[in-house]
Structure 1
Amino acid sequence: MGIQGLLPLLKSIQNHRHISEFAGQTLAVDSYVWLHRGAYACAPQLVKGEPTTKYVEYAMHRVRLLLHHGVTPYMVFDGGPLPAKKGTESERKKKRDENLARATALTAQGKHTQARDFYTKCVDVTPEMAYQLIKALRAEGVKYVVAPYEADPQLAYLERHGIVQGIVTEDSDLLVFGCKNVIFKLDSDGTCVNIRRDDFGKVGEIEMAGWGDREFREMAMLSGCDYLPSIPGLGLKTSHKLLRKYKSVPAVLRAIPITSKTLRVPPGYLEQFHEAERAFLYQRVWCPVKEKLVMLGEVPVGEGGWDEAFIGECV
């Protein structure tokens, strides 16, 4: 989930904090992160269709943790499937099916401990599970929103428009969406890791001084993201080095066949890159103020002519 290797690359600006330091603020929460974690505790029951509420209990414990420390949670749920992510979702389903087959075989052999490891890998959060959590949130008066498509741009929109002051997640994609104040690894004791976009110029592992949202986004995307398969062998540090030298993605792609003996740019990659970038820039979100669907960002004048269905239908 997210950009592989991105959080370790930003280790030098990871600040270890306690959630109480955010008291008085409203933080948007990627609800499916907590649902996934809660599902691990009851993975065999979920996969077998047995009744359980452990995943709801886990998520509500985290909700109450925030409230206890004076933080107002704003829960955000994934909505419908996004066309831009069709390939990624298909691959994930294939892996879940493979893990389920292995879990079933190990269970039949009486190897329950080993089977449990595979059950946790094949469990998936369903809309019904999300609904059960929503009912619990309603009962305690906790604010929530179901995104029209993915939670990530919805979280980014809420922060960008001052509706929340930060985001709780485990997905490094939120940094690629341009979020300014992101909280990772929230533990049951309230400890967490905070990454602030204002600190990007202080990253010790790579030189990012002078870079804006575009350069950072392009570096991450070139290394591979949920909307775009990676160029085999091209990781974050290499994409950073190439962008520093050649300044733009088209220039990088022109240089790769000339300068590299191992990297190969797939046919049509640049157009695929532009499509994927639109998912980061313009994906559909719900505006709780206007009470209607809007785009995450405004499409510049003259940048039309592409299939908007890729970033979600305006339904």
Structure 2
Amino acid sequence: MGISGLLPLLKSIQVNKHLSDFAGQTLAVDAYVWLHRGSYACATELATGKTTTKYVDYAMRHVRLLRHHKIQPYVVFDGGPLPAKKGTESERRQRREENLAKANALAAHGKHNQAREFYTKCVDVTPQMAYQLIKALRAEGIQYVVAPYEADAQMAYLERIGLVDGIITEDSDLLVFGCRKVLFKLDSVSSTITSISREDFGSVTAAEGGVSLLGWTDAQFRTMAILSGCDYLPSIPGVGLKTAWSLLKKYRTVDQLIRALRLEGKKPVPKGYLEAFHLAEMVFLHQRVYCPLDEKFVCLTEIPAQDVLDVETEAYIGRCE
């Protein structure tokens, strides 16, 4: 999930905090992160069709932990499939099917411990599982919202309009969406969590992580992340975060960068890459979300009036119907 290598690159600005530091705040929570984590304890039951609600119990323990520290959770669920992630989701589904076949084969031979390892790799959070958690949230009066498409964009929007003060997730994509305060690695035993603030990006220097983000805008950071490979676009072979950073410093724009790579011929740039890059950027900027204030679907960032989207692009970022 997220941008490969991004969190290690930002290690120097990661701050370990106690949950009590966020008392009085509202934090958006990626529901599917907790549902996935909770499913590990009951992976065999879920994969073999047995009834269990252990994943709900896991999520609700974390909800209550936040409330214990006077934090108001705002739980956000994924909605419908986003066309932009069709390739990524297809690959994940294939891996789950392969792991399920391996698990069933091992279980059939009585190797249940080995089978469980593969069952944990093939569990997928279903809408039915999400609904069971929603019922538990309703029972305890916890705020929640189901995004029209991805929870990431929805949480970014909630922060942008001031309904939440930060975001709890395990997905570094939230930083690429432009979120200002993203919280990772919640430890329920010690009640600690790792915080990354957008305002600290300028403190990331070349001496520490191999790159310097001093003076870099959100747009430059987003471009670097997309070039290195994301859920909406595979990277150019041989281009990770550090290479993307150095290429951007040298060529300034994606168009010039791609032109230079093609002329140089050392890195194979796929046909249509530039068009695909701009589509991926559209998803990070303008994905459809739900506005709880106006009770309607909107874009994460409003599309300029002069930009008329074609049908394909409109579908790619998520339709409003």
Check whether TM > 0.5. yes
Is the alpha carbon distance of 1:260 and 1:21 closer, same or farther for their aligned partners in structure 2, counting shifts above 3 Å? farther
How far, CA to CA, are the matches of 2:5 and 2:244 in structure 1? 12
Tell me the equivalent position of 1:70: 70
Equivalent residue number for residue 287 of structure 1: 291
Equivalent in the alignment of 2:81: 81
Match of 1:101 in 2: 101
Amino acid at match of 2:193: C
Q: Superposition pairs for residues 1-315 of structure 1, below 5 Å? A: 1-189=1-189, 190-204=191-205, 205=209, 206-259=211-264, 261=266, 263-306=267-310, 307-315=313-321
**Counterpart of 2:24 in 1: which secondary structure?**
coil
**Letter of the 2:243 counterpart:** T
How far is 1:57 from its partner?
0.2
The residue type paired with residue 39 of structure 2 is: A
Cα distance in 2 between the residues matched to 1:259 and 1:182: 38
1:258 deviates by 3.4
Q: Secondary structure of 1:42's partner? A: helix
Letter in 1 for 2:218: D
Partners of 1:110 and 1:246 lie apart in 2 by 58
The one-letter code sitting in structure 2 at the alignment partner of 1:282 is H
Aligned residue type for 1:192: I
Matched residue type, 2:260: A
C-alpha separation between the residues in 1 aligned to 2:262 and 2:281? 23
Structure 1 stretches lacking a partner, 5+ long:
none
> Helix, strand or coil for the counterpart of 2:75?
strand
Q: Secondary structure at the match of 2:301?
A: coil
Residue 106 (structure 1) shift: 1.1
The letter for the 1-side match of 2:215 is G
TM-aligned CA deviation for residue 260 of structure 1: 5.5
Report how far residue 92 of structure 1 moved. Answer: 0.5
Q: Secondary structure at the match of 2:73?
A: strand
Partners of 1:102 and 1:17 in 2: CA distance = 40
The Cα of 1:6 is off from its aligned counterpart by: 0.6
Residue identity matched to 2:192: T
> 2:305 & 2:127 partners in 1: Cα distance?
37
| One-letter amino acid of the structure 2 residue matched with residue 137 of structure 1 | L
1-side partners of 2:228 and 2:88: how far apart?
15
Q: Which one-letter code corresponds to 1:237 in the other structure?
A: K
Q: Residues of 2 paired with 1:213 and 1:314: CA distance?
A: 26
Q: Does the residue aligned with 2:187 lie in a helix, a strand or coil?
A: coil
- Cα-Cα RMSD: 0.9
Between the aligned partners of 1:252 and 1:146, the Cα distance in structure 2 is 38
Q: 1:171-226: per-residue Cα shift (whole Å, max 9, x none)? A: 00000000000000001121110000000000131111111110000000001111
CA distance in 1, matches of 2:99, 2:235: 24
Amino acid at match of 2:320: C
Query: What is the DSSP-based 3-state SS (H/G/I as helix, E as strand, rest coil) of the residue aligned with 1:24?
Result: coil
Task: Tell me, in whole angstroms, the C-alpha distance in 1 between the residues paired with 2:217 and 2:113.
Answer: 47
**SS at the partner of 1:73?**
strand
Aligned partner of 2:95: which letter?
K
Q: Quote the Cα distance in structure 2 between the aligned partners of 1:10 and 1:264.
A: 28
> Post-superposition shift, 1:141?
0.3
Deviation at 1:259, TM superposition (A): 3.8
- Offset from partner CA, 1:31-86 (integer Å, 9 cap, x none): 00000000011000000010111000000000000000010000000000011111
Structure 2 unpaired stretches of 5+: none
- Quote how far apart the aligned CAs of 1:248 are: 0.8
Q: 2-side partners of 1:114 and 1:233: how far apart?
A: 35
- Counterparts of 2:107 and 2:92, CA distance in 1: 22
Give the match's secondary structure for 1:178.
coil
Classify the secondary structure of the residue corresponding to 1:257.
helix
